[in-house]
């Protein structure tokens, strides 16, 4: 298990000074969300949630990422037996990132995400395709050899989306949702957007939150697949971005699909 945790942490790297957000569901409203783990959470006289948000709380004591946290996520429960789901903040404090995730959702996500992954492959890039935890979308993960500026990573994602769209101009990529990190710079007092980590036990048992091939069939050995994913160097990223910009590609607007180019 230690080797699997080490591999997982080496790939899905984000903020390590802040505990990966724990997913929660309200029994009253049914709504779900994530909250950073804090040593002072719900401590009487200190924690003022929900009146004071965690991002601006003067008493916050966030817990760091540990092997136990990843183990709890993969097993689906913490050491007290409570259900446990973790996420990651990809944007680091110095506004760099170790990964880029491209989120596809809504109708047609299967065709769109496969087109994107195949486009990455044509560029010689290794993209890991994950079926989302509820099975209604997909994430394409790209991993870097070392941290690169988030702005550069997002430009790479934008250009890859545009290239994928251009292989099927009559259809577009309407299921494209967003890039993670979702910002070039760190929001004042915030963390940047988060994304749920893959391979959590509960959805995995349903065939979700797992890595799949181009036919959307889960890889038989998830860990062997992840171990074989090639990481991308900064020089390679810069070369692809520069080439795309020479050819006149434009970035898609945040939160929306790439714009179709008139021919």
Condensed to tens digits (0 to 9), the pLDDT of residues 6-25 reads 999 999 999 998 865 555 55
Check residue 23 and give its pLDDT. 55
Domain co-membership, 50 together with 133: no
Is residue 252, in this structure, part of any structural domain at all? Answer: no
**Mean predicted confidence (pLDDT) in 55-70:** 85
Domain boundary among 87, 114, 147: 87
- Could you give the CA distance from residue 90 to residue 83 in angstroms, rounded to a whole number? 23
Check residue 32 and give its pLDDT. 63
pLDDT band at 257, cuts 50/70/90? very low
Among the listed ranges 78-82, 112-116, 233-237, 239-243, which one has the minimum average pLDDT value?
Answer: 78-82
**Which residue in the block uniquely carries the two structure tokens 């990809």?**
90
Domain housing 216: 96-246
Is residue 83, in this structure, part of any structural domain at all? Answer: yes
- The pLDDT tens digits of the residues spanning 129-149 come to 999 999 999 999 999 999 999
Domain co-membership, 213 together with 101: yes
| DSSP string covering 153-194 | HHHHHHHHHHHHHHTSTTT--TTEEEEES--SSPPTTS----
- Could you give the CA distance from residue 7 to residue 13 in angstroms, rounded to a whole number? 10
Domain boundary among 40, 70, 87: 87
Is residue 35, in this structure, part of any structural domain at all? Answer: yes
Is residue 170, in this structure, part of any structural domain at all? Answer: yes
Domain co-membership, 152 together with 180: yes
Q: How far is CA 181 from the centre of its chain?
A: 7
Contact 148, 99 (CB under 8 A): no
pLDDT band at 261, cuts 50/70/90? very low
pLDDT band at 29, cuts 50/70/90? low
Domain boundary among 65, 87, 109: 87
Q: What is the CATH number of the domain that holds 165?
A: 3.30.70
For the chain, what is the domain count?
2
Domain co-membership, 83 together with 182: no
- The pLDDT tens digits of the residues spanning 181-223 come to 999 999 877 788 889 999 999 999 999 999 999 999 999 999 9
Question: How many H-runs (helices) and E-runs (strands) does the chain carry?
Answer: 7, 8
Domain co-membership, 193 together with 104: yes
Residues of the chain above pLDDT 70, percent: 87
- CA distances for 13 relative to 16, 147, 213, angstroms: 8, 9, 23
Domain co-membership, 142 together with 102: yes
Domain co-membership, 228 together with 101: yes
Domain co-membership, 230 together with 110: yes
Is residue 210, in this structure, part of any structural domain at all? Answer: yes
Running DSSP on this structure, what letter comes out for residue 251? P
Domain co-membership, 106 together with 80: no
Instruction: Pull the structure tokens for residue 156.
Output: 């790479």
Long-range pairs of 181-184 with CB within 8 A, sequence gap ≥ 24: 181/90, 181/91, 181/97, 181/100, 181/150, 181/153, 181/154, 182/91, 182/254, 183/91, 183/150, 184/95, 184/149, 184/150, 184/151, 184/154
Domain co-membership, 229 together with 151: yes
User: 88 has which bridge partners?
Assistant: 195
Domain co-membership, 80 together with 177: no
Domain co-membership, 118 together with 52: no
Contact 164, 114 (CB under 8 A): no
């Amino acid at each position: 298990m230690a080797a699997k945790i080490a591999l997982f942490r080496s790939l899905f790297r984000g903020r390590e000074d802040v505990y990966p957000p724990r997913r929660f569901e309200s029994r009253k409203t049914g709504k779900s969300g994530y909250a950073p783990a804090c040593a002072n959470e719900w401590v009487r006289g200190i924690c003022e949630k929900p009146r004071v948000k965690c991002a601006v709380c003067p008493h916050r004591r966030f817990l760091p990422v540990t092997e136990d946290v990843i183990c709890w996520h993969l097993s689906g429960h913490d050491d007290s037996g409570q259900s446990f789901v973790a996420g990651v903040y990809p944007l680091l404090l110095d506004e760099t990132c170790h990964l880029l995730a491209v989120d596809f959702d809504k109708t047609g996500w299967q065709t769109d995400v496969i087109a994107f992954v195949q486009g990455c492959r044509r560029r010689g890039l290794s993209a890991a395709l994950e079926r989302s935890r509820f099975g209604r979308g997909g994430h394409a993960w790209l991993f870097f050899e070392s941290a690169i500026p988030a702005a550069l990573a997002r430009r790479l994602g934008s250009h890859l989306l545009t290239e994928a769209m251009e292989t099927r101009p009559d259809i577009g990529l309407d299921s494209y949702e967003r890039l993670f990190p979702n910002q070039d710079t760190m929001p004042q007092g915030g963390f940047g957007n988060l994304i749920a980590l893959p391979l959590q036990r509960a959805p995995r048992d349903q065939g979700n939150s797992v890595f799949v091939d181009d036919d959307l069939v889960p890889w038989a050995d998830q860990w062997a697949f992840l171990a074989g994913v090639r990481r991308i160097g900064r020089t390679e990223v810069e070369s692809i971005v520069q080439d795309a910009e020479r050819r006149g590609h434009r970035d898609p607007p945040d939160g929306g699909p790439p714009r179709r180019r008139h021919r």
